[in-house]
Structure 1
């Protein structure tokens, strides 16, 4: 069994902050990339890699949380928080899937730009006026719109889930453990 400690501190309380910050950041980035082709061209790969890293960190936070739950006194708030923690995994997977779809669109766009930048005489003669002007096809526009909708939906769900889980964890740790009034030290 893995010892989920770093310098005597439970690993869960350290890595969970990466999830709390990373999920809304990735969600926002996916919406931007889905809606903005210029950003997509530059940031699709770092975003996909970041999403995969975030997925690993999410798994680590969940496993470290299970480890920590076994080492603290039983409490209903901790049990509720631990039960909710696993809800983050499917949302993070969904974020990575959206990132992969955005990456695929970016690769297709890149290949089409590259193929269109040096057309032979036959290709240039058969090209439609819309393609000659550099316009995107209606299919690509529809795909980009669907990706924006997916990014907003999955991003909102993932962000709401991480907020809900974080709030339950904060309650488990802090509820009833501090004074309403200063202690006068």
Structure 2
């Protein structure tokens, strides 16, 4: 995918990633910490994480096309390098979303049995800790990629002073 309605697809698709990765990260952490939230959200958590995961390679592929159609410089190359690192974080969000959903289902099936809850406690603790790490890493990576992309797109692309057209808008 290269163009959408005459615009580079990357500049449109990137908005999905910028919104979906943090939302998936937030939902994952909420579901990992609060099993009632995970049970209420259910299968929507891993499905949303799958959409997030799928949006990353679409966006990076469109970005690679765009990279070949703009002047190359250090800022563009840095953005491209950072962008290539997001897929493992998105995969981690997806895998953990499936795991948290599965643990929530097992908890619901176990009912209120104390021994059943105790046997699932290590899996739940691991899910919470891993979710916090992966969610934080994914959100920080999206921020770093977005910041580098904005710098690559806007450096020398505007004047720091008003254009002086004198018109009131």
**Partner residue of 2:61?**
63
- The offset of 1:44, in angstroms, is 3.0
TM-score, length-scaled by structure 1:
0.84
| From 140, 143, 149, the counterpart of 1:163 | 143
| From 9, 12, 27, the counterpart of 2:7 | 9
Write out per-residue CA displacement over residues 68-127 of structure 1, whole angstroms, 9 at most, x where no aligned residue.
1111122221111111111000000011011011111122123223xx7xxxxxxxxxxx
**Partner residue of 1:173?**
153
Is 1:48 aligned to residue 46 of structure 2?
A: yes
Residues in 1 aligned to 2:95 and 2:107: alpha-carbon distance in whole angstroms: 18
**Partner residue of 1:94?**
92
Which segment drifts farther, 63-72 or 141-150? Answer: 141-150
What SS does structure 2 have at the residue aligned with 1:137? helix
Please say if residues 107 and 117 of structure 2, whose CA atoms lie closer than 8 Å, have aligned partners that are also in contact: no
Name which one, 1 or 2, has greater alpha-carbon Rg.
1
Write out per-residue CA displacement over residues 16-58 of structure 1, whole angstroms, 9 at most, x where no aligned residue.
1111111111111111101111111121311110110111111
Please say if residues 110 and 117 of structure 2, whose CA atoms lie closer than 8 Å, have aligned partners that are also in contact: no
Residues in 2 aligned to 1:165 and 1:11: alpha-carbon distance in whole angstroms: 17
Residues in 2 aligned to 1:34 and 1:56: alpha-carbon distance in whole angstroms: 22
RMSD: 1.5
Q: Size of the alignment, in residue pairs?
A: 165
Is 1:183 aligned to residue 163 of structure 2?
A: yes
TM-score, length-scaled by structure 2:
0.92
5+ long unaligned stretches in structure 1? 117-130
**Partner residue of 1:25?**
23
- The offset of 1:136, in angstroms, is 5.8
- The offset of 1:62, in angstroms, is 0.5
Residues in 2 aligned to 1:136 and 1:111: alpha-carbon distance in whole angstroms: 9
Please say if residues 33 and 44 of structure 1, whose CA atoms lie closer than 8 Å, have aligned partners that are also in contact: no
**Partner residue of 1:82?**
80
Please say if residues 17 and 55 of structure 2, whose CA atoms lie closer than 8 Å, have aligned partners that are also in contact: yes
**Partner residue of 1:154?**
134
5+ long unaligned stretches in structure 2? none
**For residues 113-128 of structure 1, what are the structure 2 equivalents within 5 Å?**
113=111
Please say if residues 44 and 99 of structure 1, whose CA atoms lie closer than 8 Å, have aligned partners that are also in contact: no
